[in-house]
Amino acid sequence: MARWFFGVAVPDELRTRLATLQATLRAGGLVARNWSAPELLHVTVLFIGHRPDTEETVLAAAGQQAAGAVLPFIVRLTGLGRFPRSRVLWAGLTPAAEQPLAALHQAVQQALVAAGWPGALDARPYRAHLTLARELDADSWEAAAAARSAVQPQLAALRWQVQELCLFESLRMDGRLRYLVRHRWPLGSVSGPTG
């Protein structure tokens, strides 16, 4: 059994800058038990979960079909937010980025359904975001207001062009969480997968 999700990668340069912003937030009093490691930063398009390895072929076909339906687009980050119930700290995306990500989400779901996907698909409304930390301490959110304000303009300056959809496998290697890209498909193209 493998743990799968579709997503878009964050370029290495931006991961480094986001790690610096995470450090600023921590120094400013924002407390979370699990800060996202820079190499794990991504935007999830559709979470699949644990599925047999034999279903990778169906996932790959759906990813290729979905990627062909959406043109490359720019992701621009906006403010910080949190999901209080799940205690997740996230960076939001502009509506211009949310729309193509939502289209990718829908295209992957439709391709999986058309292929007769045997698993359940996440029925919650899609909300594009970039997870910065988990298990956020709620009290520290207000206490770190100054740090959040300081980070805001730097966060809003971050942007990148998304040119491909990826199928990631989530696994533990040497006791550390890793997200390995198993397939990549160029957006707006009907060509085959790369990588």
What is the spatial distance between Cα 63 and Cα 133, in angstroms, rounded to a whole number?
A: 27
Q: For position 195, what pLDDT does the model report? A: 45
CA angle 103, 109, 114 (to 5 degrees): 120
Tokens of 121: 């698909």
The answer to whether 128 touches 102, Cβ cutoff 8 Å, is yes
Q: What is the mean pLDDT of residues 168-183?
A: 93
Superfamily per CATH, domain 2-186: Cyclic phosphodiesterase (3.90.1140.10)
pLDDT 10s digits, 7-66: 999 999 999 999 999 999 999 999 999 999 999 999 999 999 999 989 999 999 999 999
Q: What is the pTM of this model?
A: 0.92
191 pLDDT above the threshold of 60: no
Classify the phi-psi angles of 175: left when phi > 0, otherwise alpha if psi is within -120 to 50, otherwise beta.
left
pLDDT 10s digits, 72-107: 999 999 989 999 888 999 999 999 999 999 999 999
